[in-house]
Structure 1
Amino acid sequence: MISTIQRGDWGLTVVFRRDAGLVGREPELAVLDQTIAAVRTGESRVLVVHGPPGIGKSALLEHVESAATGMRVLRAVGVESEMELAFATLHQLCVPLLDSLKDLPAPQREALETVFGMRAGTPPEKFLVGLAVLSLLSDASESSPVLCVIDDAQWMDQASAQVVGFVARRLLAESVALVFGVRERGQDLLGLPELEVTGLGKADAGTLLKAAFHAPLDQHVRDRIVAETRGNPLALLELSRELTATRVAGGFGLPHAGTLPGRIEQSFVTRIEELPPQSRLLLLVAAAEPVGDPTLVWRAAERLGVTPAVALNDEIDELVSFEVRVIFRHPLVRSAVYRAADDEDRRAVHLALARVTDPQVDPDRRAWHLASAAPGPDEDVAAELERSAERAQARGGLAAAAAFLQRSVALTVDPARRAERAVAAADASLRAGDLAAARVSVDVAERDARDEFLRARAHLVRSQIAFSAGLGNEAPPMLLAAAQRIESFDTDLAREIYLQAWGAAALIAADGESLMAISQAIRDLPPPDGTPRPIDLVLTGYGLLVTDGRSAAVPVLQRATAVLSDLPAQDVLRWGWVGNGANAAVWDDEAMRLTYVRAVEVARGAGALTLLPIYLASLGIATTWTGDFAGAATIAAEAEAVSAATGVPIAPHTKLLLTAMQGKETEATELIATTIEWAGQDGQLMGVTTANWAAAVLYNGLARYEQAIPAAQVSTRIAELWVSVWVLPELIEAAARVGEDGIARGALDRLAEAAEPCDTDWAQGILRRSQALLSDEIAAERLYREAVERLSRTKLRPELARAHLLYGEWLRRQSRRVDAREQLRTAFDMFVSIGMDAFAERARRELLATGEKVQKRTVDQAAGDDLTPQERQIALLVREGLSNPEVGAQLFLSPRTVEWHLGKIFTKLSITSRRQLGDALPRDE
């Protein structure tokens, strides 16, 4: 262990280095060396190095940095006291790259400038920030490979953790390595490649102990020390430091290692307590100052009367180093210093740091220091924290805003003002995903609120917490009560809450009573002033849909449908997920597709990745219904990728319907079973209904009607307003085929109630096709013809093909073989061209029954069919003239990854340039 110290009056440099710190780490070093080697060849690598304190993670990260010769190394360290400052760790990592911000696409550049406080603006979606960081790293890797090292990642602030987790999952073809050192993997790092670092083996631990403890050690004593420390290198070194030859002779007086982190930290505490008072105070200043700025540390120390001549000594040199940054020998040294100090000293140190922190350059850290220095409630400090929360929210740092507000609440004197801040803290905590903290703040708000409006706002946040927590049937009535309480104070806000309550009840689906109560309350609302807004039309229509039925609701919802495709982006992001269902409620398939296309574009443009999978699921189902299976597969792939990147699971709605229509029995049945299991456990009953709807479609295609009936009945029994209607034709067809006329007629009555008020070709075509199944000979033919005519005017090719199939099957049973062949041949050709193999086989068997010879066929393999869904999507966008950065921005990929995919696309299509994509891909895509 070597230390060199150079002292000036205030210019102190301590260079600290440990030798022989990597004993027994050959396997770990090999993994790290392979990581660096792969990045040098143009690949991306991510590695989460995890293990308990003192196990040697930092030493391994130092090794990987030293091995990265010729590479650009970016380093950041999570700091426990900075966990409340939004994007603090990310800023450390990106500072060396900020000169390249100007080269990013405008939305990405503005997002990073906003979160780093370089410009004012609307808080960006955190995943747009992630895409900006991905682009920044990708651009940097063009000139040389990049190594990003983040040590103590367990102490990253939440905003940084979410962004780097997103980036880690999107790295693919960039020459970038992202290596984390972390004690325990948090949610944002789960699922990433990992390297667990455990204790040294007995022989290696003995070697390290022997090197550290120069006196002879009894073999049994050495074995006991190794066993009790579990081979933890730092524990071995710290124990050897405090043990003398006499204390370990024969094992007498040997201390028990206890819980290792606490035992190691206590060894540091013991050493700290032996230091002179000024040395301890200097360490405390360094521990309380999160940035590691030596100038700030020494300026604060000077205010406390600490001088280098008195404070510095060999013992302190072994605990902390002062170079460009103040760095403790080990994170446990920092925590040991801070926790060993008494409250009075901690407050004095934070006050000194607040005094030397520039209020213009770093107002938030100054406010945090002032809060830590406050001995009790202090309105001035509470107000300063509130302003810090506003700045944090402006940068998109919800977790930081929540932390500032929570501390502000604790320091507020006036109960009424405390209640105001508590409501704000609860709301920020809720949006940051900290439901426990949100509940605590709501309790304070409800206790201290002096007026009804504030109590109503607190109740609103509590009800939103219940909805976010997945408390099932509890959330809708709570949201209803909140809307009713807010109504007399803010009618616009109340109407949004009513819509949220209705959407929650419809999503939960099982709670018909709450949906009725909410709908009745909506119906009783006074009419809006002036011309109804889109939200007013949707809200009124939804209320009528439940209370008065579809006939009463359709005229209002049709007016809503006419304006939803042009809904302002802000409304798309705030309540569009509920409102867009109006199109499906009135059976307007064209408006439905246009609305969902717009919603996806808005969500992509805003980087709203938490909403994007929801809109993609809706667009995917609408696209599947048109028979564009390649397009639907592309949408499903994007939804899966976005869901994986955000860590927000959503039922695979598109893939369920797509595989069912394709007749892929093995894949579909496995996906259906898996979805029903986890969606039911997760409270996503919409996922359960979609899975059973898909099962009904699958089994009808396979002509296994007995299995289609129970699947369809599950969906129709759930009080849900969309899928439970769409599955009715499946139930009618299956029940009619096996002679269950009672089941079929009951389902037909429900279908008629839902479809008759909607004079659209989709609604009337499906209704006529279903009615024909249960009609007499004269009526059936007229109904089948009308169904074919109606559906041929839509883009719903699979439904039209099924109308031809049912008509052909009916004609064959009427012994009209020639007429039957015409309908069945049309159905067969359509099924084959779409890719509905099970239904095509069903049509082929019917054709054979008419005496016509027909060979099995599958959809012709067009150029590019061997492209993956994501490759197809990239190819189509490039064909339309988008650049790599533009494609990357839309698909949340780096430009370099887009280029990497294009190379594979060109190879599969046997082309060499972007211009050739127009000829290589079918023009109907």
Structure 2
Amino acid sequence: MMVTAACVGRDREIDVLSTRLRTVSGAELIAISGNPGCGKSTLLTHLVQYHLASPDAGTTLWARVSPWQAATPGSLIRQLLQDQQVEPDRAGDLVDALLEATASDVPVLVAVDDADLADEESLQALVTLIREHRTRRILVVVTTARPGTRLAGQAFDELRLEGVDAQGTADLAGQRGIVLHPAMRAELTRHTSGNPRDIVALLDEVPAGTWARSDAQLPAPAHVVRAVRERLPESGTPAGALIEALAILDVAEPLSTALALAGVEDPLAAIDDARRTGLVTSDGALTPAEVQPRIVTPLVRAAILEVLGMKAVGAAHRRAADVVVDPARRLHHRVAATPTADAGLADDLADLARMRGADGAWAEAAGLYRQSGRLTPDPLERDTRVTLAVDSLLAAGDCTGAGALVPTVESLRETPLRNATLAYLAILRGRSAEAQLRLDRAWDIVNVDREPDVAALIAQRHVLHNLVRCQGAELVTWADRAITMAGSGSAARVEAAVIRGLGLAWSGHPDAARAEYDSVSEQIRYGAQAQRAIMGRGWLQLGLDEIDAARTNLETAVSMAQLGGSTRISMWAVAWLARVQFLTGDWDEAMRNVEAGHGLARSSGIALTTPLLNWTASQIHSLRGNWEAAHRSVAENTTSAGDYEIMRIPDMLARAQLAEAAADYGKVRRILAPLRTMSESVPALSEPGLWPWVDVLGNALVLEGQYDAADDLLRDYEKRSEERGHRSSAARMKYARGRFLGATGDIHGARRTFEDGIQLLDGLGLRYDQARVNFAYGQTLRRAGKRRAADAVIGTARDLYVSLGATTYVERCDRELKAGGLAVSRVENAHAAKDVAELTPQEEAVTTLVARGLSNREVAAELFISPKTVQYHLTRIYAKLGLRSRSELAASRR
């Protein structure tokens, strides 16, 4: 009886095989190959079940070969035919029996597991069937452990199975109710090379608590340990000593270190003997000069260590600490050899952790602090180092790993450091009120004179808190405190310095902000901390209209992620880079970065950047007419549940601009009105640059007929943009002001204003803003009766929107051009005359929108006319078409 298999991580292979089976037109054979445990049998079983469940499928023949069957001629064919009314009397009848069993006009599947163990006569019969009966619709699928296997001397198509990816590993764990820490998911995949059998074995054998950690060392499955135990030479032999040394040392250590640790006199002979065990490889080296032996896989390395035992492994690590040259690796060996508390070693680890933290290598620092805590005999010092381990995980952007340790930190006595660490977690999760309470408490109880480093760290957390509150002046105040209190080169000092420039810009000092980043860039030229400085500078440059420089720096910051720095820095870099790409029209690249940012958010557990990513995604989707995806992006913001301004502002902008794309300007006004009040307490909203909300709200107010409110809103921001010399912000203000002037009857002023806005955007590369200004300009000209001029400007807007793929606005441009009348061809008019009564271009545009279900107010906003004018046109349309209602009008257009 067949057992249904759960085939995890093999979607591509399943698709290849099922497609091949459905479309097979002649007799074919394909071999599935791969290492033992890679899932060959499971994949074949899945294919058999797929074929059995297919209503139009032909016969299914299935067999699993056992080693003892190789000596029995015809045993495989007899197993295949056991459910058929066919029984070959002798080996010569095998092919005839197969022909009789597979006679069909629809695809037939012959599946053989472990075909390389089958008897030669059966394999010859299968090969004969394939070669001599090519018109039969038969697909023979076999599995083999040896790539390149030839069956009965013949080579066939081969599908090689590699290891599953990290998602496949997570899916295997999920089948057992286990949730893997993101880092552990990647580590388990690497450790097992993605081999499903080994993954499942470890999931079943390792204690459940291990999988929530990010730094656990993984063992080898029991079946690998048994195999290694049988092949591992005695430790007293040269080969055994060399294998032991290779298992103990870091793979980056040179061969000379391994030989010194092993103490072998004839290294080449020891290498040859070690390679013959199959536990060691030299990666194809052919000469002694090229050889660099290593243990074949991480699993085998772990199994060797288990076979050696704790005493031997500890002794080997102590010897290695005397042999290796690198201080950090020497310290690693000392730690590995020490099972109990050791104050001196703990202090050395803590010192190294501080240095790595100052370099920005927070993930490494977290591991060092954790080891230091394990070895620290003093309870209070141990608590401090455990807390610093959690704090370092947060600095690395690993909220998931840190969250697993939070109960431990919460159970510790209250200290300023404990409160600062828990506040840090609240910041990264987007919980402003909780972060504020914990930071205030930490600052209240810290003794600045006795604990200047802790005080500096608390001040630096206040910097981060005010960064995501968009509070420029407070950010600068706390950054100055952190820099003053922190020691030279400390992590708190560096991180406060790389953020301080943003605070200066948001508090109205853009030139000082530029100078700040010039200074920081001179001081921090390389390493993970440089990623922070480069990202911060790119963020600033985006806000200051230095678009090309912003793109370069943000792309650089994204590419520096592999330096071992912080995931949270990479998340900000990706999110702001996507904004740059949206504004400049590289929307496909922007969406790729949005997806990358979402992946980082899921793996890290950090919620802060999710609304920023969804703002970009929802704009692109709505402008391209992908309404379902746009609404889904906006809805995702509600799951972030954050109350920081850096989350609330892009969420409101996303919802407002989704409403704008749908021409619902009343909704735009309702969504964005709170930003005007918020701007009184959030100075960053009043500074031109990152948050384009004033022009969107001003435009909505104009189209809603609230001219005084629009004028009042725009006046202050026009002045601020001019004072700052901020071109794109000034152009956006002129976009809204041009709308206002055109709506209030000053067409000449409107034209001058729009032209000024277009001139300001020239050379910035902001294609979206260029299209937006031209579209509003054209609508304004058309309303004033300047149809020929309107067509030219709207045509420019249309070309820009076409280049962006913004179908929502391409359609609007087409309606505008049609409503203007001049762009409608004579042929089109002739066809229209035959199909409908004579409607003017404006009436035709109104008819189209009303038939779609838009209200008079919505049609007015869409066409930039008054609701009364819409009603006037509707009255004439009803009379011309002989209709009485909107529903009849809609029905006439279906």
Conserved in 2, the CA contact under 8 Å of 1:476 and 1:505? no
| Structure 1 contact 663–838 (Cα < 8 Å) conserved | yes
Q: Does 1:434 align with 2:402?
A: yes
Structure 2: which amino acid aligns with 1:505? N
Which residue is equivalent to 1:729?
Answer: 695
Distance 1:292 1:789 in 2: 74
For 2:365 and 2:543, the matched residues in 1 are separated by 36
Secondary structure of 2:200 counterpart: strand
Show the 5 A alignment for 1:750-899: 751-752=717-718, 755-775=721-741, 777=746, 778-854=748-824
Query: 2: distance between equivalents of 1:667 and 1:25?
Result: 41
Quote the Cα distance in structure 1 between the aligned partners of 2:178 and 2:316: 22
The residue that corresponds to 1:706 in the other structure is 666
Note the 1:436-585 alignment, pairs <5 A: 437=405, 440=408, 460-468=420-428, 470-476=430-436, 478-479=438-439, 498=459, 500-507=461-468, 517-521=474-478, 541-544=501-504, 549-550=507-508, 553-560=509-516, 568-569=525-526, 570-574=528-532, 580-585=538-543
Say if 2:613 is the partner of 1:590.
Answer: no
1:622-637 matched pairs, under 5 angstroms = 622-637=580-595
CA distance in 1, matches of 2:594, 2:39: 28
Residue 758 to residue 561, structure 1, CA distance change in 2 (3 Å):
farther
CA shift, 1:599, in A, is 1.7
Q: Distance in 2 between matches of 1:730 and 1:670?
A: 22
Shift of 1:742: 4.8
| Residue pair 2:583, 2:768 contacting (<8 A) in 1 also | yes
**TM-score normalised by the chain length of structure 2:** 0.51
More relative contact order in 1 or in 2 (CA 8 Å, sep 6+)?
A: 1
Which of 619, 641, 646 is residue 577 of structure 2 equivalent to?
619
CA contact (8 A) 1:483 1:494 kept: yes
User: Would you say the 8 A contact 1:426–1:438 is kept in 2?
Assistant: yes
Post-superposition Cα deviations, 1:1-45, rounded to whole Å, max 9, x if no partner, equal xxxxxxxxxxxxxxxxxxxxxxx9933499899999979648999
Task: Write the letter of the residue equivalent to 1:730.
Answer: V
In the alignment, which residue of structure 1 is the partner of 2:617? 655
Conservation of the 8 A alpha-carbon contact between 1:609 and 1:646: yes
* Pairing partner for 1:600 from 558, 564, 570: 558
CA apart distance, 1:785: 1.4
| 1:802 positional shift | 1.5
Over residues 168-205 of structure 1, what are the superposed CA-to-partner deviations in whole Å (9 max), with x where a residue is unaligned?
9998xxx9987434259989999xxxxxxxxxxxxxxx
- 1:622: how far off? 0.8
Match of 1:898 in 2: none
- C-alpha distance in structure 2 between counterparts of 1:835 and 1:421, whole Å: 54
Quick one: structure 1 residues 579 and 158, their matched pair in 2 at CA, closer, same or farther if it must change by over 3 Å?
A: same
Match of 2:125 in 1: none
Cα 1:568–1:428, aligned 2, differ >3 Å: closer, same or farther? Answer: same
Indicate conservation of the 8 Å contact 1:154/1:185, yes or no.
no
Q: Which has the larger radius of gyration?
A: 2
1:273 counterpart residue number: none
The one-letter amino acid paired with 2:655 is A
Question: What SS class does the counterpart of residue 756 from structure 1 fall into?
Answer: helix
CA 1:441/1:360 → structure 2, altered by over 3 Å: closer, same or farther?
A: farther
Q: CA separation in 1, counterparts of 2:531 and 2:442?
A: 21
- CA shift in 2, pair 1:631/1:292, >3 Å: closer
Cα pair distance change 1:441/1:705, threshold 3 Å: closer
**Deviation of 1:669 (Å):** 2.2
Aligned length: 580
Residue 669 of structure 1, aligned match among 628, 631, 639: 631
CA distance in 1: counterparts of 2:539 and 2:464, whole angstroms: 10
Q: Matched residues in 1 for 2:647 and 2:572: separation? A: 12
Partner amino acid, structure 1, of 2:754:
Y
Query: Cα gap change, 1:507/1:835 in structure 2, threshold over 3 Å: closer, same or farther?
Result: same
Any conservation in 2 of the 1:357–1:366 contact (CA below 8 Å)? Answer: no
Inter-partner Cα distance in structure 1 for 2:347 and 2:484: 40
Change (3 A) 1:815 1:479: same
Query: What SS does structure 2 have at the residue aligned with 1:359?
Result: helix
Equivalent position amino acid for 1:732 in 2? G
Deviation at 1:737, TM superposition (A): 0.7
The 2-side partners of 1:625 and 1:743 are apart by: 28
1:903 aligned residue: none
Taking the aligned partners of 1:689 and 1:64, their CA distance within structure 2 comes to: 64
User: Higher mean Cα deviation, 493-502 or 592-601?
Assistant: 493-502
Percent identical residues: 16
C-alpha displacement at 1:852, in angstroms?
1.8
Aligned partner of 1:27 in structure 2 is: 4
User: What's the secondary structure of 1:766's corresponding residue?
Assistant: helix
What CA deviation, in whole Å up to 9, does each residue of 1:625-682 have, x standing for no partner? Answer: 112223323433444555567676744333223223334333312322x223212x25
- For 2:762, the aligned partner's letter is S
2:789, 2:767 → 1: CA distance? 21
Shift of 1:473: 2.1
Distance 1:540 1:610 in 2: 17
Taking a change above 3 Å as real, the CA distance of residues 70 and 792 of structure 1, as seen in their structure-2 partners, is: farther
Flag the 1:811–1:364 CA change in 2: closer, same or farther, 3 A. Answer: closer
Distance 2:586 2:695 in 1: 21
User: Aligned equivalents of 1:404 and 1:351: distance in 2?
Assistant: 18
Q: Please say if residues 372 and 385 of structure 2, whose CA atoms lie closer than 8 Å, have aligned partners that are also in contact.
A: yes
Structure 1: distance between partners of 2:461 and 2:66: 50
Deviations 1:329-349 (A, max 9, x none): xxxxxxxxxxxxxxxxxxxxx
Residue 343 of structure 1 is matched in structure 2 by none
Which residue is equivalent to 2:887?
A: none
8 Å Cα contact 1:158/1:399 also seen in 2:
no
* Alpha-carbon distance, 1:620 to partner: 1.2
The residue that corresponds to 2:837 in the other structure is none
Q: Secondary structure at the match of 1:636?
A: helix
Distance in 2 separating the partners of 1:542 and 1:507:
11
CA–CA distance in structure 1, aligned partners of residues 482 and 773 of structure 2: 43
Q: For the residues of structure 2 that align with 1:390 and 1:686, how far apart are their CA atoms?
A: 30
* Alpha carbons 1:43, 1:176 under 8 Å: kept: no
Query: Would the aligned equivalents of 1:435 and 1:469 in 2 still touch at CA under 8 Å?
Result: no
State the 1:403 CA deviation: 4.5
Distance 1:502 1:713, change over 3 A: farther
Name the structure 1 match of 2:373: 406
8 Å contact kept, 1:422–1:442: no
**Equivalent AA in structure 1 for residue 722 of structure 2:** E
Contact 1:587 1:755 in 2 (8 A): no
Going from structure 1 to structure 2, the CA distance change for 1:418 and 1:822 (only over 3 Å counts) comes to closer
Other-structure match for 1:692: 652
**1:211 corresponds to which residue?**
none
Measured against aligned partners, the alpha-carbon deviations of 1:367-393 in whole angstroms (never above 9, x if no partner) come to 67864xx6xx77578669879989999
Residue 558 of structure 1, CA deviation: 3.5
Q: Which amino acid aligns with 1:677?
A: T
In the other structure, the counterpart of 2:200 is: 180
Taking a change above 3 Å as real, the CA distance of residues 630 and 563 of structure 1, as seen in their structure-2 partners, is farther
Contact residue 665 and residue 704 of structure 2 kept, 8 A:
yes
Q: Quick one: distance in 2 between partners of 1:581 and 1:751? A: 21
Q: Contact between 1:588 and 1:762, CA under 8 Å: does it hold in 2?
A: no
Assess, with a 3 A threshold, how the Cα gap between structure 1 residues 647 and 439 changes in structure 2: closer, same or farther.
closer
The 1:471/1:403 distance shift into structure 2, 3 A limit, reads: same
Mapping for residues 407-426 of structure 1, pairs under 5 Å: 407-409=374-376, 412-413=377-378, 418=382, 421-422=385-386, 424-426=388-390
Q: Is the 8 A contact 1:46 1:168 kept in 2?
A: no
Deviations along 1:745-797, one digit per CA (max 9) or x if unpaired, are 45424633652332132122222222233346253332211101111231011
Aligned-partner SS, 1:765: helix
Question: Within 5 Å, which residues of 2 pair with 1:49-128?
Answer: none
